[in-house]
Chain A
Amino acid sequence: MYKVHIGIEIHCALRTKAKMFSSAFVTQNQDPNTSLDIIDLALPGYLPTINKKAVEYGILVCDALHCTINPVLRFDRKNYAYPDLPKGFQITQQFYPLGKNGYMMIEGQKIDIERVHLEEDTAKMIHHSQSTLLDFNRCGTPLLEIVSTAQIHSVDQACTYVKSLQQKLIYLGVTQGRMDKGQLRCDVNVSLSQNPSQLGDKVELKNLNSISHIRQALDYEIQRQSLLLDQHKKIEMQTRRFDEKTKRTILLRKKETQKDYRYFPEPNLPVIHLDKSWIQEIIARRPRDPKEILDILKKQGIDEKEAQSLLTQKDLTDFYFAVIKYTERNKDVLHLLLSDVRNQMKSHAISLSDVDPRRFAWIVDQKEENFSTNRIRQWILAFLNGKNVEDQIQKAKDEQPHVSRIEEWIRQVCDANQQSIDDYRQGKKRALSYLVGQVLKVSRGQADPALVQKKLQERLNQEKEEAE
């Protein structure tokens, strides 16, 4: 009945080493107030400087979102007072954003991206009943703001937009993109209209920490606004926050008048004319995006579903490509990654950056030695947990009887068990298991069961053919 118009504003924390206008480290999970430059506390006499890497990352994103890149870098002051903003203004790009007029394709539809610009993050506040605690570590972290126009018309599409953008940003290497850690923040504005070409008054939703929150918040808000409109009541422009317990949106503040931020150009930062060849170089060196990687995986013969599953985790994908440099068993590698490795990473908090892809590949290649998949898996798991598996593998190799030995045992058992062979020929499958068991007995458990089965079957089928 009502047309839904959704616009999304994303703040992406860039994973640079240093802050945007400050020389301190970008940090998470550190003692409070231990990564501060003079400007982060806005001590008297502070001056801003510009982080080159952050600009590079900005350019990568602008290019990935098909924006027109402004080669002239300009910064402005956004003046407002809040305890988490020590200077009393935020340095941002109001008048000349780094990129504009871009777009992203979501399920065949083009969603316009109004602007992409660089700015800085605020401090963290912890509120107690009588006081507020301030930690300025986060203050000054480079942020990229990405604003879409209100062309999204369904909750599904909104969620897909955020998810796709998140994946894109992660694969560009510019952010870790964890919504739960505040590395990717989402503000959504939503309005309803009866007249499809006319936008209603916007309501802004903040504090959406996950895709499911976005979905729940939008679902509730759309319903809330629909009810009001049904009753011919006016929707007031306002900001609401999402309450995850009740799954409702709650009024934060009304927007009676537009706030005046008194924007003006930052006098302490010069206008920078970016070298066009530098911009081109950055774009040329850009990492592959998920779609390109998907195509590569498909060409390698990998099933699309499995490929998509791999792509949901960039560290896993990166690791996959690192490993297959050293082995051709890419399908085996993939299966290991999607099952055991993924699970281990989760349960044991393992980081793949600590795992040597070359050694991983070597272990996978031991399949050559006729070791079973199961055994390979066990060694991989041990390896991930930091155990030295080379010795184990060497021992297994030494103990592993040669194929000819296995064939010898098989011949021995077959000679002594003609009845079972006849039973097998008559279709009694259990006879095969019996024969396998006999071979294992004779070999005193040294032979690998899977291999024995394989060789037995080969021999029996061969004899069958010869007999016919």
Chain B
Amino acid sequence: MPLTRENIRKQCEFAQQKTQAIVSFVVPEIQDKGRFKDIRIALKDNISLKGYPLQAGSKILEGYQCPYDATIVEKIKQEGGCIVAKTAMDELGMGGSGNNDIHGPVIHPWDASRIPGGSSSGCAALVAVDGADVAVGTDTGDSIRKPASYMGLVGLKPTYGRISRFGIVPYASSMDTVGILARSIEQVESVYDVLKGQDERDLMTFLPKSLEKAPQKKQELLRLAVFDSISEDADPVLKARLQKLIEQLETKQTIKHVQMPQSLLALIDPVYTVIANAEACSNHANLDGLRFGLSSKDQSVENIRSRGFSWEVKKRFLCGAYALHKENQERLFIKAQKIRRKLVDAYASMFTEADIVFSLTTPDVAPLISEYKEDTSIGLSYLKLSNFSGYPSISIPFGHKEGLPFGLHLAAKPCREDLLLKAAKMFSQVIQEMDHV
């Protein structure tokens, strides 16, 4: 379908009916040159697009209009990308259900009784129903990979710092990573190639030279390892498929099996809770209605903030502040940071003899809304290891259970997106072969 404003609008409206994924329709700028020409791009609503509202799923940003573009938006525009929409998300990225108090929940396109996953829920849903070709979102714990798995998409979370965060509402600064969702690996890759790179406005994009100058010699055979520890409690259908995949791979090469002790894995969620809430609470201290956002005359800041944040978010802020108190910091925040390092060291050791570590992205398909709780099963919480470590990872479509998709998760060493994407394509091939046998 040719790219015209009319067509784009129709596609977006259609997608919106199905998914409620869009919070702002963007007037498309259709350009005739650049690497992104003819690509419809959706942006998670925590990304600054000049002249458009930004709410990041929170009432506290009601009325806020961006006076500047995020770095990635500048890059998209430079390459002729056609931005079509700002998409719904869990409030300030803090949540994984795709629900939101101000916009209402994003609807899973194939089963409205299930959660789409979050927090990049709108991104994933819009791409899933072809309202956009590609979506740019963020992943702090699992927020790109989880919805990618639940909606049968490719979701890439690159190395931390690979893509500039300038102009993007933070959640937990030490873990926030800009990522990409699309229906094909090639699409994800082409967008990634443009968006990645150093940005003087985000100092964390200047990655250690020792990592960036990774050996570029051609590596024909990727060394693969499967992450056993986390699929123990997975749904039997998914488990079976994983087993089948392993067998298929083993016809061509040896697959290592890697583990991390359960006692350590059980610490992932508490460590995440402490660090993410503490950083988020501090990051969002700027949201007070004084210079922008929700406000009304003569209302105190306490009043505005109490109205502006959901109960869930308020709880997290209070816990986050608690973890940073002088009398608690050593045993909560700093201890969490130490355990983070332990977790990362253990995670990194799995890569000493493997280039790619793979596993099920989620232990099951999208859960029913009625049964959903912020899950603490290791099968889901392990995804946060990518954020603790900064290692790049990707979720690719793996299979279906009763018509609902689920994904396969691949991870690589820092700055080795080259191997990661190569592996993703290879695995996709193997998965296809599996289904034709």
A251 an interface residue at 8 Å Cβ cutoff? Answer: no
How far is B323's CA from A260's CA once the two chains are assembled, in angstroms?
A: 12
Does B324 contact A44, Cβ atoms closer than 8 Å? no
- Are the C-beta atoms of A89 and B282 separated by less than 8 Å? yes
Q: Name the CB-closest residue of B to A123.
A: B291
Asked if B377 lies at the interface with its beta carbon under 8 angstroms from chain A, I say no
Using A42-B286, A44-B64, A79-B285 as known contacts, say yes or no to A262 and B324 having CB atoms under 8 A apart. Answer: yes
**Is there an interface contact between B201 and A49, defined as CB atoms closer than 8 Å?**
yes
The answer to whether A260 and B325 touch across the interface, beta carbons within 8 angstroms, is: yes
Is A264 within 8 A of B282, CB to CB?
Answer: yes
Contact mask B252-290 → A, CB, 8 Å, 1/0?
000000000000000000000000001100101111101
Whether B324 contacts A89 by the Cβ 8 Å rule is no
- Given A45-B168, A79-B285, A79-B324, residue A86 in contact with residue B200 (CB < 8 A): no
Are A264 and B278 neighbours in the complex by a CB distance under 8 Å?
yes
Tell me the complex Cα distance, A134–B291, Å. 9
Question: CA separation between A49 and B174, bound complex, in Å?
Answer: 16
Per-position 1/0 for A56-88, Cβ under 8 A of B: 000000000000000000000101010100111
> Are A49 and B291 in touch, CB under 8 angstroms?
no
B92 nearest in chain A by CB position: A44
Main DSSP-derived SS at the A contact region: loop
Establish whether residues B301 and A81, one from each chain, have CB atoms under 8 Å apart when the complex forms. yes
Q: Which residue of A lies closest to B301 (CB)?
A: A81
Across the interface, which residues of A come within 8 angstroms of B326, CB to CB? 260, 262
Q: Is the CB of A270 within 8 A of B301?
A: no
Q: How far is the CA of A77 from the CA of B170 in the complex (A)?
A: 16
Distance to closest chain B CB from A176 (angstroms): 29
- Determine how close the nearest CB of chain A comes to the CB of B286; give it in whole angstroms: 4
- Nearest chain-A residue to B291 (Cβ)? A41
- Interface residue stretch chosen among B202-210, B412-420, B425-433: B202-210
The interface centre, meaning the residue of B46, B200, B290 with most chain A CB atoms within 10 A of its CB, is: B290
**Within the assembled complex, what's the spacing in Å between the Cα atoms of A88 and B206?**
26
User: What 0/1 pattern do residues 362 to 379 of A give for CB contact below 8 A with B?
Assistant: 000000000000000000
B333 interfacial by beta-carbon distance below 8 Å: yes
- A88: contacting residue among B66, B286, B333, CB under 8 A: B286
Which of these, B47, B68, B200, B288, contacts A38 with CB under 8 Å? B68
Check A355 for interface membership: any CB of B closer than 8 A. Answer: no
Closest A residue, CB atoms, query B333: A264
Task: Check B70 for interface membership: any CB of A closer than 8 A.
Answer: yes
CB distance from B336 to the nearest CB of A (A): 11
**Chain A, range 85-112, C-beta contacts under 8 Å to B:** 86-89
Nearest residue, chain B, Cβ from A48: B203
Q: In B221-243, which residues have CB < 8 Å from any A CB?
A: none
Residues of B contacting A: mostly: loop
**Given A50-B203, A88-B282, does the pair A267, B290 have CB atoms closer than 8 Å?**
no
Q: B329 to chain A: which residues have CB within 8 Å?
A: 262, 264
A44 touches B48 (CB 8 A): yes
Per-residue CB contact flags for chain B residues 151-178 toward chain A (1 = under 8 Å, else 0) read 0000000000000011111100110000
Contact of A199 with B by CB under 8 A: no
Contacts of A77 in B (CB 8 A): 282
Q: B34 to nearest A CB, angstroms? A: 24
**Total A-B contacts with CB atoms under 8 angstroms apart:** 89
With an 8 A cutoff between CB atoms, is B313 at the interface?
Answer: no
Q: What's the nearest-Cβ distance from chain A to residue B24, in Å?
A: 15
Are B285 and A87 closer than 8 Å at their CB atoms? yes
Contact of B288 with A88 in the complex, beta carbons under 8 Å = yes
Minimum Cβ distance to chain B for residue A281 (Å): 23
Contact with B along A226-265 (1 / 0, CB 8 A): 0000000000000000000000000000000000101010
Which of A48, A87, A89, A267 is the one whose CB lies under 8 Å from B174?
A: A267
The distance in angstroms between the C-alpha atoms of A87 and B287, with both chains bound, is 8
| Interface membership of A269, Cβ < 8 A | yes
Q: Which of B47, B48, B291, B324 contacts A86 (CB 8 A)?
A: B291
Which chain B residues in 34-62 approach chain A with CB under 8 Å? Answer: 46-48, 54, 56, 61
A43 at the interface (CB under 8 A from B): yes
* Interface flag for A296 (CB, 8 Å): no
Q: How far is the CB of B324 from chain A (nearest CB, A)?
A: 4
A403 within 8 A of B: no
**Given A43-B67, A45-B70, A79-B324, A267 and B288 contact (CB-CB distance below 8 Å):** no
B285 touches A89 (CB 8 A): yes
Q: Cβ of B54: which chain A residues have Cβ within 8 Å of it?
A: 44
Q: Which residue of B lies closest to A79 (CB)?
A: B282
Segment 264-281 of A: residues with Cβ below 8 Å from B: 264, 267-270
With A44-B54, A45-B167 in contact, is A268–B285 under 8 Å at CB?
no
Distance A49 CA – B71 CA, assembled complex (angstroms): 15
A338 interface residue (CB < 8 Å to B): no
Partner of A47, one of B56, B203, B287, B325: B203
**CB-contacts of A411-465 with B (<8 A):** none
State in angstroms the CA–CA spacing of A466 and B173 once bound together: 97
B289 to chain A, nearest CB (A): 11
A46 contact set on B, CB distance < 8 A? 286
User: Please, how many angstroms separate the alpha-carbon atoms of A83 and B286 in the complex?
Assistant: 10
Q: Please indicate the chain B residues that have their CB under 8 angstroms from the CB of A267 in the complex.
A: 173-174, 279
Known: A81-B285, A89-B282. A268 touches B203 (CB 8 A): yes
Cβ A86 vs Cβ B278 within 8 A: no
Name the residue among A38, A45, A47 with the largest chain B CB count within 10 angstroms.
A45
Q: How far is the CA of A269 from the CA of B204 in the complex (A)?
A: 7
**How far, in angstroms, from A319 to B291 measured CA to CA in the complex?**
45
Whether A270 contacts B321 by the Cβ 8 Å rule is: no
For B56, the chain A residues whose CB sits under 8 A away are 44
Other A-B pairs beyond A44-B46, A268-B203, 14, CB < 8 Å: A42-B286, A43-B292, A44-B56, A44-B61, A44-B64, A45-B46, A47-B201, A79-B324, A81-B285, A86-B286, A87-B285, A88-B286, A268-B202, A269-B203
- Which 3 residue pairs of A and B lie closest in terms of their CB atoms, listed nearest first? A88-B285, A42-B286, A262-B324
Q: Could you list which residues of chain A lie within 8 angstroms of chain B, going by C-beta atoms? A: 38, 41-50, 77, 79, 81, 83, 86-89, 134, 260, 262, 264, 267-270
- Which residues does B use to contact A, with CB under 8 Å? 46-48, 54, 56, 61, 64, 66-68, 70, 165-170, 173-174, 200-204, 206, 278-279, 282, 284-288, 290-292, 301, 321, 324-326, 329, 333
A-B contacts, 12 listed (Cβ < 8 Å)? A44-B54, A44-B56, A45-B170, A50-B203, A88-B284, A134-B291, A260-B326, A262-B321, A262-B329, A264-B324, A264-B329, A269-B203
